Chain A
Amino acid sequence: MEKFKEKIKTCLQNEPAFCTAACPFGLDIRDFIPKIKRGAFNAAYRSYLNAVGFPGIVAQICHQPCKDVCPRRFKDQAVAMRLLERAAIDYARNLNPNSYNLPAKNKRIAVIGAGISGLGCALRLASKKYDVTVFEKSDRIGGHLWNLLSPEIFLAEIERQFMYEEYTLLLNTQIKSLDQLDFDAVYVATGSKGTDFGLRPGAGGAFASTRPGVFLGGELCGSNIIEAIADGLNVTKAIERYIKTGGMNQPPEQRGTKIQLKPDFITPMEQVLPDKGDPFTKDHAMKEAKRCLLCACDACIRHCDLMRYYGKFPRRIGEEVEITVHPGTLDGDGTVATRLISTCNQCGLCKEVCPQGIDSGNLLLQSHRAMRQKGAMPWAFHDFWLRDMEFTNSDEAALCRLPGWYTESRYVFFPGCQLGASDPRYVTESYRLLKAHHPDTALMLSCCGAPAEWAGEGPIHNEVIEKLRRDWVSLGKPIVVFACSTCYEMFGKNLPEVRGVLLYNLIAELGISPSKDGEGETVSVFDPCTSRNESGLHQAVRDIAGMAGFSLQRLPYEGKYARCCSWGGQVSAANPSFAREVVKVRIAQNDHPYIAYCANCRDIFASAGKKCYHILDVVFGINDAERKPPTLTERRYNRAQLKRRLLKEYWNEKSEEEQMENKVKLYISPELRQKLSDEMLLETDIEKVVEHCETSGRKVVDKGTNSYTGHLMIGNMTYWAEYRKKDDGFELLNAYGHRMKIEED
């Protein structure tokens, strides 16, 4: 967490847009453009006016340095800023400046030169009620503007902006020496060939000269006309600082931006062009404004589901996590980010897309662990999956064996907990294939420990890892063949001494012909987020799909930028609406079926109605893309079944078939089975409730429907079953659960 605190200091969230950084006035594009976009031209005009001082002049003559840095220029054309600025003026309700009622300041400022830079300075200071005197050697104001614009335009604009301000203008008054002036501060803006009174720019301070109280700016100092106006507006900050503190050390404005933008993510949009040099209509302007990318360093919030869902950048997340883990309240509560911490999919995309490599996911993982250690993380967020892991690693489903008479093996197949849960044949067929090529291949049916890691359960996680290490050593330290990229990642992280390969890479390397014929069907390969850094794996899966005759279409997010299917971090108990939203977005990327190579991605998408193959469906020709995924209860049954089947086939061992079943016989309709699964309730737990009610007689009778209702606490959860007698058992009518404990004495 300390590391994150240091790293977050490099976050570029507050860096200006490219155009803002290039604009002499620093016009805040993220403020201006949204106003135009929604047709709020008056509001846009006010922003523009505040930035440039003389909108009617700047919008006519600006050389648009913004257009040279607009990232759109790489894709189509830069946003037509000057036309948008003119539209803000054309369609604003009120062009007049604001009138400020402030007390007069007892300070006198001299401005030498009534060009537009000097007038800019005079305007800003006069509006703050300084006593301003402008000295002009000629008989007119405007200076260089006379060569650039029609006087009707600029004189009218100057008059408008000064309409509420008072200042003294002395025309035909040439200042020969600064010594003849008795003022608190002086701004010298005498133009490109004007006098500098023998002064040089001073060291350090913005616009400062070597003489205290005298500032230089505008075209005199080599600025162009637009920069000269900006100088006139900006010098006032340096003058005010001098007046208040006597220092000539106003820091010069920092220009530039550190943000980076990958043009790959820019969608081309045609430039809106007015007819024959006409100004924009309102519609034109609003349409053109939509082309603006509002450049900001926001890759994290654009790509990360969690940040987008909460609308929070890493800096804010860091702050909230800090006060959640170390609350400052007397009660020690105020855990504002508990659910946010538990909503991270741990997919790693935030770090991947961040130009500074800020790893918010790791912060959330560490803080999860810290919260768990304190006992401040609600148990319910991970209870189901920790119990599921316990089941996978129990005698009912776990297995670690060398084949036949071998005493050690070169390879061990580690399918992970969910592959066989989805369809046991994925494992049996893969193992058969591996054994055909390497007969000494051992087998490990176990969980990689991811649920404990995601739950922040340090001690449980360590136990799982230690058991895996012992098992692996007992097999002769073989190369582990993984079918799940999460297991692969977890081993890499926690058991770095273990060498691992991915099943799909092996299948591609062995050149095995897929059994399924894709018949040219267009599909998209969905890379699991944990495969992010495995470019070889991405290619292998595409090669297999291609060999099967599928036609592949790319997804917007794949490979290095793979996004989580919603399973990662097992966040659905903590934040079900987030998980649902993530799935919805993932499956809507295109209308074609997906090919996944993570059993969770495959089953989650299929549950949400998306056609999705597992790559092993393609390799072995097992299932079609519409296969309904098993319920949570069936997933457990499948794992136990898988172990029995493998023991029988490869080790000729018969085990009890009835292990999964309880004593009571419960009839459950398919609809109710699905409901239980959706609500993360296991049929085996509900069977226990009924069994408990029947043996203890603790139940409530509804004489109207002739049904019973009873409850039982299993672990932390309280489960309820509503049922009635049927044949030799019971018919389950309904079941539900809650986390709250009933205090029964």
Chain B
Amino acid sequence: MEEKKTLTCYRCNVELKAQKTYFEYLGHSFHADVLRCPECGEVYIPEDLAKGRIAEVEMQLEDK
């Protein structure tokens, strides 16, 4: 099994934590928990999230 990644913010040198984050697409706004720097708010979205759930919601909104 793949080891869990430890991700830190380059500027703040703090470990990223899951945090409520707002997204917007085609005039719709919503939120989800994604990894962010607790200090500066730098976001991290992995590829599987971008191509998975995010792409799915994008498609739903396009068809709405």
Contacts and interface: CB of A to CB of B under 8 A. Distances in A.
A543 to B, nearest CB: 46
Nearest to A331: B64
A704 B6 contact: yes
Nearest to B28: A740
A720 B50 contact: yes
B39 to A, nearest CB: 12
A744 interface: yes
Nearest to A703: B6
Interface string B32-64: 000101000111110100110011011001111
Contact of A700 (B10, B58, B63): B10
Interface string A347-388: 000000000000000000000000000000010110000000
Interface residues of B, number: 34
A740 B23 contact: yes
Contacts of B64: 333, 335
Contacts of A737: 50
Contacts of A531: none
Nearest to B43: A742
B25 A739 contact: yes
A425 B44 CA distance: 43
A740 B58 contact: yes
Contacts of B51: 736
A323 to B, nearest CB: 14
Contact of A744 (B7, B43, B55, B62): B43
B10 A739 contact: no
Contacts of B47: 720, 722, 734, 736
Contact of B7 (A335, A701, A736): A701
Interface string A725-739: 000000000101111
A380 B43 CA distance: 22
Nearest to A693: B10
Interface in B1-42: 3, 5-11, 16, 21-26, 29, 35, 37, 41-42
Contacts of B23: 740-743
Contacts of A542: none
A698 B11 contact: yes
Contacts of A315: none
A743 B21 contact: yes
A380 B7 contact: no
A78 B24 CA distance: 61
A704 B8 CA distance: 11
Interface in A322-352: 333, 335, 338-339
A743 B29 contact: yes
Nearest to A741: B24
A642 B31 CA distance: 46
A436 B21 CA distance: 63
B53 to A, nearest CB: 10
A736 B50 contact: yes
What DSSP secondary structure best describes chain B's contact surface?
mixed
A702 B50 contact: no
Contact of A703 (B8, B35, B43): B8
A709 B44 contact: yes
Interface string A691-710: 00000011111111000110
Interface string A416-440: 0000000000000000000000000
For the residues of A in contact with B, the DSSP-based class is mixed
B61 to A, nearest CB: 8
A339 B58 CA distance: 12
A703 B25 CA distance: 32
Nearest to A743: B22
A745 interface: yes
Interface in A450-481: none
A41 B43 CA distance: 64
B41 A741 contact: no
Contact of B16 (A700, A739, A741): A700
Contacts of A740: 23-25, 54, 57-58
Contacts of B7: 700-702, 709
B10 A698 contact: yes
B23 to A, nearest CB: 5
B62 to A, nearest CB: 4
A701 B42 CA distance: 11
B63 A338 contact: yes
A335 to B, nearest CB: 7
A711 interface: yes
Contacts of A711: 43, 45
Nearest to B61: A378
A25 B55 CA distance: 54
Contacts of A720: 45, 47, 50
B25 to A, nearest CB: 4
Nearest to A335: B64
A378 B62 CA distance: 6
A711 B61 CA distance: 23
Given A739-B25, A739-B58, A743-B23, A700 B42 contact: yes
A231 to B, nearest CB: 52
Contacts of A743: 21-24, 29
A90 B63 CA distance: 50
Interface in A399-420: none
B12 to A, nearest CB: 10
Nearest to A334: B64
Nearest to B59: A339
By Cβ-Cβ distance, the 8 closest A-B pairs, closest first, are: A743-B22, A740-B25, A378-B62, A738-B50, A699-B10, A700-B44, A736-B47, A741-B24
21 contacts: A335-B64, A698-B11, A698-B42, A700-B8, A700-B42, A701-B9, A702-B7, A703-B8, A704-B5, A708-B10, A709-B44, A720-B50, A734-B47, A736-B47, A738-B50, A740-B25, A742-B21, A742-B22, A742-B23, A743-B24, A743-B29
Interface of A: 333, 335, 338-339, 378, 380-381, 574, 697-704, 708-709, 711, 720, 722, 734, 736-745
Interface of B: 3, 5-11, 16, 21-26, 29, 35, 37, 41-45, 47, 50-51, 54-55, 57-58, 61-64
